[in-house]
Amino acid sequence: MTGRLATWALGLVVLAAIPAMPLGRAQEYIWHVIIQIFLWSFIGNAWSLMGRFGLVSLGHGAFLGVGAYGTVLLWNFFHVTPWLGVLASIALTVALALIVAYPCSRFQVVGHYFGLVTLAVGEVIRLLIVAERDWTGGSLGVSLATGAGASGLWTLQFADKRVFYYVGMAAWLFGLWVWWRVDRSMARAAMEAIGEDETAAASVGIHVTRFKMGITALSAGLTALGGTLLALYLAYANPDTLSGIGVSLRIVFAVVLGGMYVLLGPSVGTALTIALSEYLRIYFGIKLIGIAETIYGLALILFIIFLPAGIWGSLADAWRRRRAAPARTAPA
């Protein structure tokens, strides 16, 4: 157990030390990429809380969008500090999630139907954002209003990227902690029972509706937080990058790539997809727009067919099997 803890500690120390390392002229860019990885991994983690229990949402873009736009618009129009704004948008997102989750749980909307209903919700939010272009900026997006009192702790706007590096890292670690806690709790056993056979679970006294709604609310709230942080970091929100089916699917892909049932799965998957897309962008410049996603799509298909547990998930399984094997080959 201590071996594991040591590895974690070492990893965290290295990560925390990166901003202090002399990485040359590209260091701001490297920080930028890592911040993106932190934030999107956090979001992927939040998604996998639902996904691993069979609640496959194809509309998490809705939660991202409400979270991001909520905070940004509250600042832009009402000068509400993001510290409070984020609480308001999380509350709004959780409310939305519960409104959708309650009937889904009560009326047994599962599997394909659930996926498609969430897809619809994701689209509704995106369409709403575009339709209400007068105050959301429509498809052009909205920037965080700068000017009086716009920098510093009040609005979480910092000239130095490094602050956001640590904010991102903190969020990421927080997300992992939540995932770990859910994994250990009764909720996990209950959700797995529900995932296998809802009626049987209900007959044993598991309050199916409450659990489903709880997990959905948690996942939605965390996603909203992630959306807010992204919007604050980029000082910009756009309906296509922060809502809609595209981003929803991208979240899912990253998680599946890394492995949905393992703690670091979403993070590994996100890191890989972001690294890939950045690499391709540098390598091809603007010459081959779309190549990154082409490779994603192909990779996703191949992974689903050949490696459904994801990269990290499969490695974790293989590792677990190797550690179990020596016990079996003990001398007679």
Partner 1 sequence: MIDPIFLLEAVINGILLGGVLALLALGLNLIFGVIDIVWIAYVDLVALCMYAVYFLVTLYGWPLPLAGVASIGVGALLGLAVHQLIITPILASPPINQLLATGGLLFFVQSCATLLWSTDHRSVRVTLPTIEVGGIFISFTRLIAFALSILAMIGLYFFLTRTYTGTAIRAVSQDREAIALMGARPQRLYLVTSAVGGAMAGIAGALLIIQYAVHPYFGGAFGPLTFMVCVLGGLGNMVGAFFAAFIMAQIISVGGVLVSTEMGYVIAFVVFIVLMFVRPGGIFARRA
Q: Which residues bind partner 1 (CB under 8 A)?
A: 51, 54, 56, 58, 100, 103-104, 107-109, 111-113, 115-117, 119-121, 123-124, 127-128, 130-131, 244-246, 249, 252-253, 256, 288-294, 296-301, 304-305, 308
| Closest C-alpha among 118, 106, 79, 69 to residue 219 | 118
Q: Tell me how far apart the alpha carbons of residues 248 and 233 are, in angstroms, rounded to a whole number.
A: 20
Q: Tokens for 93, please give them.
A: 């997102």
Tell the smallest beta-carbon distance from residue 285 to partner 1 (Å): 14
| Residue whose CB is less far from partner 1, 274 or 292 | 292
Tell the smallest beta-carbon distance from residue 297 to partner 1 (Å): 3
Cβ proximity of 258 and 275 under 8 Å: no
Q: What DSSP element (H or E) covers 200?
A: helix 198-203
| Residue whose CB is less far from partner 1, 18 or 130 | 130
Other beta carbons within 10 angstroms of residue 3's beta carbon come to 7
Q: Which residue has the tokens 């047994």?
A: 108
Tell the smallest beta-carbon distance from residue 212 to partner 1 (Å): 14
Tell the smallest beta-carbon distance from residue 38 to partner 1 (Å): 24
Tell the smallest beta-carbon distance from residue 275 to partner 1 (Å): 17
Tell the smallest beta-carbon distance from residue 216 to partner 1 (Å): 15
Q: Tell me how far apart the alpha carbons of residues 218 and 315 are, in angstroms, rounded to a whole number.
A: 28
| Residue whose CB is less far from partner 1, 19 or 265 | 265
SS3 208: helix
Q: What angle do CA 315, 321, 260 make, to 5 degrees?
A: 40
Question: 259's torsion region: left (phi>0), alpha (psi -120 to 50) or beta?
Answer: left
| Residue whose CB is less far from partner 1, 152 or 308 | 308
Q: Tell me how far apart the alpha carbons of residues 86 and 298 are, in angstroms, rounded to a whole number.
A: 36
| Residue whose CB is less far from partner 1, 87 or 128 | 128
| Closest C-alpha among 102, 144, 110, 123 to residue 249 | 123
Cβ proximity of 220 and 63 under 8 Å: yes
Q: Which residue has the tokens 């179990």?
A: 324
Q: Tell me how far apart the alpha carbons of residues 68 and 59 are, in angstroms, rounded to a whole number.
A: 15
| Residue whose CB is less far from partner 1, 91 or 116 | 116
Q: Which residue has the tokens 């959905």?
A: 216
| Residue whose CB is less far from partner 1, 56 or 315 | 56
| Residue whose CB is less far from partner 1, 169 or 300 | 300
Q: Which residue has the tokens 């990166």?
A: 18
How far is C-alpha 202 from the geometric centre of its chain's CA atoms? 30
Tell the smallest beta-carbon distance from residue 139 to partner 1 (Å): 10
Tell the smallest beta-carbon distance from residue 230 to partner 1 (Å): 21
